[in-house]
A and B are shown apart, each in its own frame.
Chain A
Amino acid sequence: GAVVSQHPSWVICKSGTSVKIECRSLDFQATTMFWYRQFPKQSLMLMATSNEGSKATYEQGVEKDKFLINHASLTLSTLTVTSAHPEDSSFYICSAPGQSSLGYTFGSGTRLTVV
């Protein structure tokens, strides 16, 4: 079935540094990738939608310059958290329209901790 590989699964970084998260569709082409963020005991919130070859669409309240999204190929979308701060610590997860009857396929998520 459709698989989205997300890396890294967890990362700890210092405040002020940047972190890149990758999501790859392994056996299908993903023209669209959704990026979500989940704070502890809260629901997943859509941050942005990336589209291959064009600019990402950001949800209201999400800073474009802080969360850089690149979707340069049909199998790779990246989210870069720039100048990370402790309040950016969260669980980030990507999702692409899948090929199965189960709709969207999710990556395994990245737990980011900024210290």
Chain B
Amino acid sequence: KQEVTQIPAALSVPEGENLVLNCSFTDSAIYNLQWFRQDPGKGLTSLLLIQSSQREQTSGRLNASLDKSSGRSTLYIAASQPGDSATYLCAVLTNTGGFKTIFGAGTRLFVKA
């Protein structure tokens, strides 16, 4: 059974700091891995999607890496800003008993001004 774990569960950093969020998954047979942002009480915003054949994706100050063999992904946020404060979720797409997206519990990030 695929399980997705995110560490840390919560993180508080001063503005301007670079930071890394970690995601691990137990079954390396994934189609892709996706990072999302969720603001309190709101839906999800897709940030980056990495296909299983890819190693990393970049968008602006965000960089996500994927090491499928070790079951790990990291989301790197450069020069953090207060507007980055949100919960960051990683999710993997698997095909066990049908296509499913399995989410981690998220990392709650707070960037202090």
Contact = CB atoms under 8 A, between A and B. Distances in A.
Interface residues of B, number: 22
B43 A6 contact: yes
A46 B1 CA distance: 14
| Interface residues of A, dominant DSSP | strand
B44 A101 contact: no
A103 B57 CA distance: 14
B89 A44 contact: yes
Interface of B: 4, 32, 34, 36, 41-44, 46, 48-49, 89, 91, 93, 98, 100-106
Interface of A: 6, 10, 34, 36, 41-46, 49, 57, 91, 93, 95, 101-109, 111
Given A44-B103, A103-B46, A105-B46, 20 more contacts: A36-B103, A42-B105, A43-B4, A43-B103, A43-B106, A46-B101, A46-B102, A49-B98, A49-B100, A91-B41, A93-B43, A93-B44, A102-B46, A102-B48, A102-B49, A103-B32, A106-B46, A107-B43, A108-B42, A109-B43
